[in-house]
């Protein structure tokens, strides 16, 4: 069946890496139908909507969204919500998959990292119920049994999948801070441990988030799947990406009820935008996640193999120590496909 993807480059280097990733997708799956749309900060400035309703409708009708990045302002801007946050809430994409691995020939702070962070994507502190009264500001953190169970199920299913693919026992590490946040993290932990009982062939352990942050730096190889509440997962996944070679290599998938949204973890990178030197690999690896989700693991593997071959030639973008442009890197990948 023909698959349709809605490609939304967004802001900054999203405009450079998404077209490159789409070319790779088309080379792997010539039958794919690609529609293009715009969303993000620039779209908000032009139209007053960061995610126009017609784009939302196009996304709803697609089999996947491939999103670049937004240049969200740090301060609050009336009427603006990041399109990614809106997709997550509207499509109930309550699990965020962030695989992190090292690659041959790419210098990283550690070797042989191969882990997956499964981040809760709809609740926690990201419900953004914040208030301020004079000198005091506070935020509400919401954790539900249903939301915790939903993401825990995804984490254990992913662990089971990894166990099959790698031919070894898989492990889920439950991340929390239930020693301090007894009620909210306590609930997340309780539900995760309950879900774990249905997966006796998968090892389960728990770590306080601060300890997990340290262990990631010391010996990331000990981790397999990390299951984390929203904010912890966000922070730990950037940390893990940094250990494994940087944001230029980090893909992600937002999955749940509606159209899944695939995006590189990195942002709009205003410091290098427009120079043609952005690393398109994170966007290409997001395409690999898309292909896996669609049930084409062999195509995803072909893409990863092609990327590994290009990395071995050293013809990589400046963030990885090379001198290749986005276009040159993309050409090399296409040649190997």
Binding of ligand NAI by 72 (CB under 6 A): yes
* Cα distance between residue 143 and residue 187, in whole Å: 7
Reported as type and span, the H/E element at residue 44 is helix 41-47
Candidate list 319, 324, 329, 330; residue touching ligand NAI; CB under 6 A: 319
| DSSP per-residue string spanning 105-169 | TS--SSSS-EEEEEEE-SSEEEEEEEEEETTEEEEEEE--HHHHHHHHHHHHHHHHHHHHHHTS-
**Which of Mg ion, ligand NAI, none does residue 271 bind (CB under 5 to 8 Å by kind)?**
ligand NAI
- Nearest approach in angstroms of CB 238 to Mg ion is 5
Q: Which residues bind Mg ion (CB under 5 A)?
A: 234
Candidate list 78, 200, 271, 295; residue touching ligand NAI; CB under 6 A: 271
Residue with tokens 């965020």: 96
DSSP annotation of 177: -
- Nearest approach in angstroms of CB 272 to ligand NAI is 4
* Cα distance between residue 312 and residue 103, in whole Å: 9
DSSP annotation of 203: E
Stretch that binds ligand NAI, among 27-35, 156-164, 192-200, 262-270 (CB under 6 A): 262-270
Binding of ligand NAI by 43 (CB under 6 A): no
Candidate list 258, 267, 297, 322; residue touching ligand NAI; CB under 6 A: 267
Candidate list 23, 171, 177, 266; residue touching ligand NAI; CB under 6 A: 266
Q: Which two tokens stand for residue 319?
A: 């963030």
44 to 50, 65, 250, 266, 269: CA distances (angstroms): 4, 19, 26, 20, 18
Residues 279 and 17 sit within 8 Å (Cβ to Cβ): yes
Residues 265 and 241 sit within 8 Å (Cβ to Cβ): yes
**Which of ligand NAI, Mg ion, none does residue 279 bind (CB under 5 to 8 Å by kind)?**
ligand NAI
Nearer to ligand NAI, 196 or 249 (CB): 249
Nearer to ligand NAI, 144 or 304 (CB): 304
- Cβ count near 67 (within 10 Å): 28
- Nearest approach in angstroms of CB 270 to ligand NAI is 6
172 to 180, 227, 303: CA distances (angstroms): 22, 7, 27
Q: Which of residues 198-257 bind ligand NAI (CB under 6 A)?
A: 247-248
**Which of ligand NAI, Mg ion, none does residue 20 bind (CB under 5 to 8 Å by kind)?**
none
- Show the site string, 272-301: x = touches ligand NAI by CB under 6 A, - = not: x-----xx--x-------------------
- Nearest approach in angstroms of CB 18 to ligand NAI is 11
Nearer to ligand NAI, 50 or 152 (CB): 50
**Which of ligand NAI, Mg ion, none does residue 226 bind (CB under 5 to 8 Å by kind)?**
none
Residues 317 and 291 sit within 8 Å (Cβ to Cβ): no
Q: Give the interface with ligand NAI as residue ranges (CB under 6 A).
A: 13, 17, 69-72, 84, 247-248, 263, 266-272, 278-279, 282, 319
């Amino acid at each position: 069946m023909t698959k349709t993807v809605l490609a939304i480059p967004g802001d900054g280097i999203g405009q450079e890496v998404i077209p490159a990733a789409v070319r790779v997708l088309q080379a792997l799956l010539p039958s794919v139908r690609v529609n293009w749309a715009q969303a993000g900060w620039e779209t908000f400035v032009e139209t007053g909507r960061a995610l126009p309703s017609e784009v939302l409708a196009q996304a709803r009708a697609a089999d996947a969204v491939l999103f670049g990045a937004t240049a969200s302002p740090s301060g609050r801007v009336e009427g603006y919500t990041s399109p990614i946050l809106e997709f997550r809430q509207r499509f109930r994409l309550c699990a965020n998959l962030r695989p992190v691995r090292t690659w041959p020939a790419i210098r990283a702070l550690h070797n042989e990292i191969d882990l997956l962070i499964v981040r809760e994507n709809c609740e926690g502190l990201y419900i953004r119920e914040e208030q301020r009264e004079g000198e005091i500001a506070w935020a509400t953190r919401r954790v539900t049994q249903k939301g915790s169970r939903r993401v825990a199920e995804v984490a254990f299913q992913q662990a089971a999948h990894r166990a099959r693919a790698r031919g070894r026992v898989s492990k889920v590490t439950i991340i929390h801070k239930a020693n301090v946040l007894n009620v909210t993290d306590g609930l997340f932990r309780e539900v995760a441990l309950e879900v774990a009982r249905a997966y006796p062939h998968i090892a389960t352990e728990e770590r306080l988030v601060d300890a997990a942050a340290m262990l990631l730096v010391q010996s990331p190889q000990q981790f397999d799947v990390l299951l984390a509440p929203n904010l912890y997962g966000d922070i730990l996944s950037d940390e893990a990406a940094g250990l494994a070679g940087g944001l230029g290599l980090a893909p992600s998938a937002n999955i749940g009820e509606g159209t899944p949204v695939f995006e590189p973890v990195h942002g709009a990178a205003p410091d290098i935008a427009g120079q043609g030197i952005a690393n398109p690999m994170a966007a290409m690896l997001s395409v690999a996640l898309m292909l896996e989700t669609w049930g084409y693991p062999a195509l995803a593997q072909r893409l990863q193999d092609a990327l590994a071959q290009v990395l071995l030639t050293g013809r990589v973008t400046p963030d990885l120590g090379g001198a290749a442009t986005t276009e040159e890197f993309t050409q090399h990948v296409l040649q190997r496909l």
